[in-house]
Structure 1
């Protein structure tokens, strides 16, 4: 693979192609999980497993979004302690979303995906990462809707 697929120029209009592909592939567990919540609703054991799997995956992604800010804050020219503090919020909320009943936890995780995007709208621009926002919006839209759809199926 050439570097064109991996590293954008400093003034890139969009993220690297590999990142876009992986980001879209990362939606598969969200969509599949939300559909399975409804398809196995008649089987209590399978339903509990699927809702936990969807919540666990959503929590992992929410925590990852916090980790992005931890990474940005670690740069020498990073935004400072504020980013470190924000970076801790998504994993804590994600943990709560997993331990809550599925109907509430999935709704919380869907809402947190949106909150992370809203925060990123400001912080990505400040950190020179605005070219990621279109992809982040698309991924957030599908992932949060999947969480809400899954919560409605519990």
Structure 2
């Protein structure tokens, strides 16, 4: 029995108001963590940098998971392989000293966006790229600022 050929995916609607609000709210831990790195006492700095680094790791894992969802929907096997890369990189970054690990996480956030710029249009998700760019810019910048203060 052969599988039916996949048709081209329909273009997804632009992000809803709820998606926009949740996306921007998801930046609060990034912004707050980067700010706190520069404001807290030295004895609390390890907790702040760990919080920022682990949140970045969670978000990177989420971004990889999106590719699994697209792969499930469209049957594109290469997306599954890429989907695990952000989680693995994030895991390594969390285990590193914060001044290095946060740079790795920030760079991986940018890398995920660059991959998404190629993948999303092929799967009818171009309408999400503006939001993805904005979220990536603030999140990666927060990681870099946090790394500088660690």
TM-score (norm 1): 0.88
Deviations 1:97-142 (A, max 9, x none): 1000000000000000000000000100011101000000000000
Question: How many positions carry a matched residue from both structures?
Answer: 141
- Find the counterpart in structure 1 of residue 4 from structure 2: none
Runs of 4+ in 1 over 2 A off after TM superposition: 9-12
1:70-89 to structure 2, matched below 5 A, reads 70-75=68-73, 77-78=74-75, 80-89=76-85
Q: Cα offset for 1:151?
A: 0.1
Q: Cα offset for 1:10?
A: 4.5
Deviations 1:21-49 (A, max 9, x none): 00000000000000000101x322x1000
List runs of 5+ in structure 1 lacking aligned partners.
1-8
For 1:50 and 1:11, the matched residues in 2 are separated by 37
TM-score (norm 2): 0.91
1:128 corresponds to 2:127: no
Q: Cα offset for 1:81?
A: 1.4
Structure with greater contact order relative to length (CA < 8 Å, sep ≥ 6): 2
Q: Which of the numbers 70, 92, 98 marks the counterpart of 2:94?
A: 98
List runs of 5+ in structure 2 lacking aligned partners.
1-9
RMSD: 1.2
